[in-house]
Amino acid sequence: MGKGIKDLDNESYSLPSKMWIYLNKELQYRRDMEKANNIKKEGRIEEFEKLQKEIEDKYKNLNVQRLRFLDQYIFRSMANLIVFFEHLVKYPELRDVFETDVKELFGYITELDKKTYTKEQENSDGKVEKVPYFTIYCQENGYNNIIRRFMLSLLYWDIYNDPNNFRLGLMRDIQYVIFQYMSTIASREFGGDIGGADHIINDDIGRAVSWTTLFGSRYSKSDQAKDDKIQKPKRPILF
């Protein structure tokens, strides 16, 4: 999603316009405040106070919009996905019903109609030609797999200024789930093998778990983790 979404027709994903409006407003607010703070640093106090008042009036409903955005789009979407996939685990008969849709959801069904999903782009010779949208997206972003895009953006943070970030704990949890499933696969594939291939695989993957656990402890043992544990969630996980 993102840049170029308007070039796709109604059969594709479409993100709510209110979502884009809010995110752009949140970004613009921070840029306006940065401008105001720079004026303050220069000692232009009267100009700063006037601009600060204008900014406060312009964005006075931003906190309400932020809560509405999180409630309607982010937390609800996460709950929907988890409940949906847990139902596929609990009721195997549903798995076949949605298997193709799940593959499409995560980007494993990717062939687009080259006549329908196209966008004009200038080639190396300077000529404008119609190129499949999917090809352009991969060129601009370097990847197309949905889960990879999700993970890369989820696990990104400023590690130099925030070395004990909670995402270290996320990496540990993700790696442990991978370890569990890979152990099952290895046991099924190589169980009883004379060379003990399943044990070798488990040991190799186990090292990754050990490393992520080691680094994950930087968060779990930090003061930030202690503060996080005593906070009451605004949206408790009750599903």
- Give the tens place of pLDDT for each residue, 153-210: 999 999 999 999 999 999 999 999 999 998 888 888 877 665 566 678 788 889 999 9
In this structure, is residue 192 part of a structural domain? Answer: yes
Q: Is 16 a residue whose pLDDT tops 80? A: no
Tokens of 139: 């060129």
Q: How many CA atoms lie within 13 A of 122 on its CB side?
A: 2
The larger pLDDT score, comparing residue 21 to residue 115, is at 21
In this structure, is residue 214 part of a structural domain? Answer: yes
- 8 Å CB contact between 121 and 136: yes
The tally of domains found in the chain comes to 2
In this structure, is residue 20 part of a structural domain? Answer: yes
Tell me what the mean pLDDT of segment 215-224 comes to: 95
The larger pLDDT score, comparing residue 129 to residue 39, is at 39
Angle 189-173-160 (CA atoms, 0-180°, nearest 5)?
125
Q: What percent of the chain has pLDDT over 70?
A: 76
Q: Is 2 a residue whose pLDDT tops 70? A: no
Q: Within the chain, what is the greatest distance between any pair of CA atoms? A: 81
User: Of 210, 202, 211, nearest to 180 (Cα)?
Assistant: 202
- The whole-number pLDDT of residue 220 equals 95
Give the domain-ending residue among 60, 76, 109. Answer: 60
Give the domain-ending residue among 34, 60, 86. Answer: 60
Average pLDDT, the chain: 83
Say what the pTM is.
0.74
Per-residue pLDDT of 114-160, as tens digits, reads 555 556 666 667 776 766 555 545 555 545 567 888 898 999 999 99
In this structure, is residue 237 part of a structural domain? Answer: yes
In this structure, is residue 49 part of a structural domain? Answer: yes
Q: Is 69 a residue whose pLDDT tops 50? A: yes
- 8 Å CB contact between 39 and 171: no
SS (H, E, C) the chain: CCCCHHHCCCCCCCCCHHHHHHHHHHHHHHHHHHHHHHHHHCCCHHHHHHHHHHHHHHCCCHHHHHHHHHHHHHHHHHHHHHHHHHHHHHCHHHHHHHHHHHHHHCCCCCCCCCCCCEEEEECCCCCEEEEEHHHHHHHHHCCCCHHHHHHHHHCCCCCCCCCCCCHHHHHHHHHHHHHHHHHHHHHHHHCCCCCCHHHHHHHHHHHHHHHHHHHHHHHHCCHHHHHHHHCCCCCCCCC
Q: What percent of the chain has pLDDT over 90?
A: 56
- 7 — pLDDT class (breaks 50, 70, 90): very low
User: Of 214, 206, 172, 212, nearest to 186 (Cα)?
Assistant: 206
In this structure, is residue 46 part of a structural domain? Answer: yes
In this structure, is residue 88 part of a structural domain? Answer: no
- The whole-number pLDDT of residue 127 equals 73
- 8 Å CB contact between 88 and 51: no
Q: Which domain holds residue 16?
A: 1-60
In this structure, is residue 103 part of a structural domain? Answer: no
Give the domain-ending residue among 20, 43, 60. Answer: 60
- The whole-number pLDDT of residue 44 equals 95
User: Of 230, 185, 226, 225, nearest to 205 (Cα)?
Assistant: 185
Could you give phi then psi for residue 22, rounded to 5 degrees? -65, -50
